[in-house]
Structure 1
Amino acid sequence: MADIEFDVVGLGNAIVDMIAPVEDSFLEEYEIRKNGMTLIDEPRADTLTKAAPDARQLSGGSGANTIAGLASFGARAGYIGKVSKDALGDVFRKDMNDSGIPFTTPPLAEGPATARSIIFVTPDGARSMNTFLGASVLFSPEDVQEDMVSKAAILYLEGYLFDQEAAKAAFVHASEIAKAAGRQVSLTLSDSFCVERHRESFLHLIRNHVDILFANEDELLSLYETDDFDAAVEKLREDTALAAVTRSEKGSVVIGDGEPIHVAAEPVKDVIDTTGAGDQYAAGFLFGVSKGLPLQICAKLGHIAAAEVISHYGPRPETPYAELAKKAAILA
């Protein structure tokens, strides 16, 4: 068995967030749907990029946000994802590496550009996202870095990447590498629409490869095609050994040995932007698991991280999570 070098290694969509403040008239001029997410093609992405030359550029993507959150707790974290050999690919790579997160996946030499989410923020705080998936979805089993996966205590898989057949194969391949090395595999379902598209594949993955599952309430109900939360929880208990289901202000439900554990959400004075709440909950929970902490504490760390990130704009921490965990007397 290889030595453990990483607490968690994530595998997901490598996306550069481009954030620009605009007026409502800008949205009207470029026919942008306000306060929603629209998938766009490369020509449209180029048009909107040129229209926002001063946009702030940051590495993003759901799985990468979780890995950044883990690093903020002080975890040893790495990331695997696909960017193109272009300027935005360099932005993503530098940003991750500067955060202490090794990102060494070879770039795509030819084909679509690096994925980007062009986010226009109006004065009322609404975030209008325009996402070009680009190179991020061209992920195949050959892109799985076996050495990295085998040296991670936990492999974290982002459900959003599941839309391509090659990516599905990459998930299974990475899981098999992790299992062969005696590691744990975790999965986030990412989005209820994603679950609807891939329900049977997700169920197969959960039942055969996944040790730790993350879902929100809507995703769980979609997974088991029911409106009964308690019934969905019972089905989930049959399918996986450990799961955490978030329920916004209702907190979360953790499924492990014994009866489900209900953990309250952390109080938040002002909710500014819920983007990244689930990503950061997963970061806190996985950090706790990697340190062998009780499940109740793992969930509390998740809620601490989620509360911090929804208190400001952006899906990544502004206050180091390690400081917040110390303040809560969880870390020394």
Structure 2
Amino acid sequence: MTFQQVSEPYDAYDVLVVGGSGVDTVVPVGALPIPLTDSSAVPPIREWVGHTGTGVALGCAALGLTTGFVDFIGDDHHGSLVRERMAATGVDFRPLISPHGTRRAVNLVAPDGRRMSFYDARDPLDLRMPPEHYLPALRRARHVHLSITHFSRFLYDDIEALGLPVSTDLHDWDGLTEHHREFALRSDLVFLSTAGAGERIASVMREILHEGRAEAVIATAGAGGAYVLGSDDRSPRPVPAVVPPGPVVDTNGAGDAFTCGFLYGRHLGRSLEDCARLGAVAGAHACTSPGTHTTLVGPDVLRAVPTTAQAPAAPPHPTAPPGADQPLRPTPP
């Protein structure tokens, strides 16, 4: 691997994103699940620079947060696409070249915007980012967001030694797969989707909060809104979904946009519930354009969202708040 030689243009990062760049191949399909067939005609297939770290880095920068991004990419065509996408976005992108190439995903997207993703986890388990590459960036960070790429877990000790708050997104974790557990238990803010754990999501959220260091766990439920569980909560609190500002055409990147909106709220010192409402607005915004991370919400939109005290009473949520023994019943994302 080789180092990317760059200057030091930023004194500090509001958010430093670690890992999670790549390229998505988006395939429009008539419906999900797709029928078993030898071949099928589809609308034009397109490539977009995507993946979760890219989305969080671009989204935070679009919201005016000073953003750094360290990761591995390949010395290949797709790595060039990632570099080109990051250029002139305000993200201080500092990649290392990996001989294993740039990560890929193939995403099937239905007309209603739902997607099914096939992720290319090509990084070998022994891939490590040298401390001399990431430590200078960590020392300038106010907050770190770790993607669940395997090499990212080896930064936790240095993050804790520096006393930095850290967030992560477990995506569709079922609460059982061991790969995600360290990320779940060593992060201060933990995001995940209800898709993996299903009706067990409330107990998974409680386990993360009670066994780890998290101050809050946030579960997104697509059209069902989101749930927030803080250290003072007995059960997850529902946060209503937001009506998108246009037709839903593609949900790729909506979860990353939610994370950005939430982190932006935390940067402003807003409450957990207000942060989740900002996340819901950002996530809804992301669903109105095709591709991945193609339309990024700006700070003016989120600043216009009233605080909880200013907001009108929310309509009844499609899922009742769960009690101590009542599991969440999420709407499919």
Cα displacement (A) at 1:211: 0.8
Q: Secondary structure at the match of 1:71?
A: helix
CA distance in 2, matches of 1:123, 1:230: 30
Residue 238 in 1 paired to residue 213 in 2? no
CA distance in 2, matches of 1:20, 1:230: 33
- 1:176 corresponds in structure 2 to 157
Contact 2:261–2:279 (Cα < 8 Å) also in 1: yes
AA at the equivalent of 1:81: D
Please give the per-residue CA displacement for 1:278-314, whole angstroms capped at 9, x wherever unaligned.
1111111112112322112211110011100112222
Please give the per-residue CA displacement for 1:148-167, whole angstroms capped at 9, x wherever unaligned.
123222211222x23xxxx2
Contact 1:244–1:254 (Cα < 8 Å) also in 2: yes
1:13 to 15, 20, 45: 20
- 1:281 corresponds in structure 2 to 258
Correspondences of 1:1-332 after superposition (within 5 Å): 5-19=12-26, 57-108=47-98, 111-117=99-105, 132-134=120-122, 139-142=127-130, 145-159=134-148, 161-162=149-150, 167=151, 170-171=152-153, 173-192=154-173, 196-198=176-178, 201-207=179-185, 209-219=186-196, 221=197, 227-239=199-211, 240-259=214-233, 260-268=236-244, 270-318=247-295, 320-328=297-305
Please give the per-residue CA displacement for 1:71-104, whole angstroms capped at 9, x wherever unaligned.
1211111212211122321221221132111111
Q: Secondary structure at the match of 2:93?
A: coil
Please give the per-residue CA displacement for 1:234-267, whole angstroms capped at 9, x wherever unaligned.
3333133211111222322222242244321111
Deviates more, 1:269-278 or 1:128-137: 128-137
> Structure 2: 5+ residue runs without aligned partners?
1-9, 308-333
CA distance in 2, matches of 1:93, 1:8: 19
Contact 1:188–1:213 (Cα < 8 Å) also in 2: yes
CA distance in 2, matches of 1:113, 1:249: 35
AA at the equivalent of 1:306: G
More helix by share: 1
Cα 1:23/1:328, change in 2 over 3 Å? closer
Q: Secondary structure at the match of 1:81?
A: strand
Contact 1:186–1:211 (Cα < 8 Å) also in 2: yes
Cα displacement (A) at 1:127: 6.5
Cα 1:128/1:258, change in 2 over 3 Å? closer
Contact 2:74–2:102 (Cα < 8 Å) also in 1: yes
TM-score (norm 2): 0.73
CA distance in 2, matches of 1:70, 1:62: 12
Q: Secondary structure at the match of 2:218?
A: strand
Cα 1:139/1:64, change in 2 over 3 Å? farther
Cα 1:12/1:32, change in 2 over 3 Å? farther
CA distance in 1, matches of 2:290, 2:232: 38
CA distance in 1, matches of 2:119, 2:38: 15
CA distance in 2, matches of 1:329, 1:253: 19
AA at the equivalent of 2:193: N
Contact 2:147–2:169 (Cα < 8 Å) also in 1: yes
Q: Any runs of at least 4 consecutive aligned residues in structure 1 with deviations exceeding 6 A, and if so which?
A: 20-24, 32-35, 120-128
Contact 1:81–1:139 (Cα < 8 Å) also in 2: no
Q: Secondary structure at the match of 1:156?
A: strand
Cα 1:13/1:241, change in 2 over 3 Å? same
> Structure 1: 5+ residue runs without aligned partners?
36-51
Contact 1:308–1:317 (Cα < 8 Å) also in 2: no
Cα displacement (A) at 1:233: 3.8
CA distance in 1, matches of 2:206, 2:29: 46
Aligned length: 289
Cα displacement (A) at 1:178: 1.8
Cα displacement (A) at 1:189: 0.7
Please give the per-residue CA displacement for 1:11-54, whole angstroms capped at 9, x wherever unaligned.
22321234577999xx99x957999xxxxxxxxxxxxxxxx9x9
